[in-house]
Amino acid sequence: MADKENLSRLSRILEIYMRFMNGEVINKKDEANRYGVNEKTIQRDIEEIRSFISSGSSRYGTIDNIVYDRRIKGYYLEKVYNSKLSNSEILAICKILLDSRAFTKTEMQNMLEKLVELCVPRENQRLVRDLILNEEFHYIEPHHGKVFIDKMLELGQAIRKTKYVEIDYMRTKDKAVVRRKLKPLAIMFSEYYFYLTAFIDDEEVRKDFDVINDSFPTIYRIDRIQKLKVLNESFHIPYKDRFEEGEFRKRIQFMYGGKLQKITFKYFGGSPEPVLDRLPTAKIVSEDETGITITAEVFGKGIDMWLRSQGDSVKILSKN
């Protein structure tokens, strides 16, 4: 008789466990009626399942828990993977996304909702949503109003497969639309916009550029790409000439292309931290009572914009 009772109890616990794993909500009263036992028995079953799940969490790479939700008047299995981001990390990412102002308002709202829904435990979602609610409500989308995420993925696939792309691109200076055949290298983000860095394949076009040397890629705002076609034709760049996105990123300001140059300047603005963070290649050469002498390697003319923005806090000593 005892064996039959134990078998019945084990079968009941396993059935409830499997229903938890299938995402079902377990109501104590309903389960008591289903199995012909009292609610205290079902509560003990749930506690045993909770204890079993807790003991196996570290081995299986998940932090699972049986959670009671008053709104649905039942228990459910909350499955949280160790690799998931914490509430604090999700909040930080949401804040960075909002501050980027890189997407339309609809896109931004969809992304934020998915991040919170998928990465934050149910009981903490309201907290995270409340912390970003005001900023999300007052979010101002970029003036171009373009949706280009799918285009960005196409470019990413072309980069990965080293395929030529052909684009119709609206130039900034005169709004003219020009066609370019490119070797796409990398997708980058800076100051509200996503950019494609690429080598131009047309010598006739390149001869009119300030920098002809192929080691310096051209830069295109992705939202200004009117049409995109990934060609079947592949290109090859020798390993020694490969584009190193991280190194390029350290040396470019405001995504203005141009030749590599070395600048040296005197800084009078107090702590040099903002300069060192703005210019990752910057090094302090010397420091005295008159100011701090700093040198840095940079690409293009974007550095001139930054230097002018510093006003009397900066004095250029040399550029070459």
**CA–CA separation, 95 vs 97, rounded Å?**
5
Query: How confident is the model at residue 307, as a pLDDT?
Result: 85
The whole-number pLDDT of residue 179 equals: 92
pTM across the whole model:
0.64
Q: For each of the chain's 320 residues, which pLDDT tens digit applies?
A: 555 566 688 888 999 998 888 889 999 999 999 998 999 999 999 999 888 877 765 555 456 788 888 888 899 888 765 556 678 888 899 999 999 999 999 999 999 998 888 777 777 888 889 999 999 999 999 989 999 999 999 999 999 999 999 999 998 888 899 999 999 998 988 888 999 989 887 665 555 554 444 446 788 999 999 999 999 999 887 766 667 766 766 666 666 767 788 999 999 988 889 888 888 888 999 988 889 999 998 877 778 888 888 888 999 898 88
- HEC profile of the chain: CHHHHHHHHHHHHHHHHHHHHCCCCECHHHHHHHHCCCHHHHHHHHHHHHHHHHHHHHHHCEEEEEEEECCCCEEEEEEEECCCCCHHHHHHHHHHHHHHCCCCHHHHHHHHHHHHHHHCCHHHHHHHHHHHHHHHHCCCCCCCCCCCHHHHHHHHHHHHCCEEEEEEEECCCCCCEEEEEEEEEEEEEECCEEEEEEEECCHHHHCCCCCCCCCCCEEEEHHHEEEEEEEEEECCCCHHHCCCHHHHHHCECCCCCCCEEEEEEEECCCCCHHHHHHCCCCEEEEEECCEEEEEEEEECCHHHHHHHHCHHHEEEEEEC
**For the segment 91-109, what is each residue's pLDDT rounded down to a tens digit?**
899 999 999 999 999 999 9
pLDDT recorded at residue 240: 63
The reported pLDDT for the residue numbered 214 is 43
CA-closest candidate to residue 257, choices 179, 192, 176, 196: 196
Question: What residues does 67 pair with on adjacent strands?
Answer: 76
pLDDT score at 236: 84
Q: What is the pLDDT of residue 97?
A: 92
pLDDT at 77 (0 to 100): 86
Measured distance CA(169)–CA(41) in Å, rounded: 69
- Per-residue model confidence (pLDDT) at position 6: 66
pLDDT of residue 213: 46
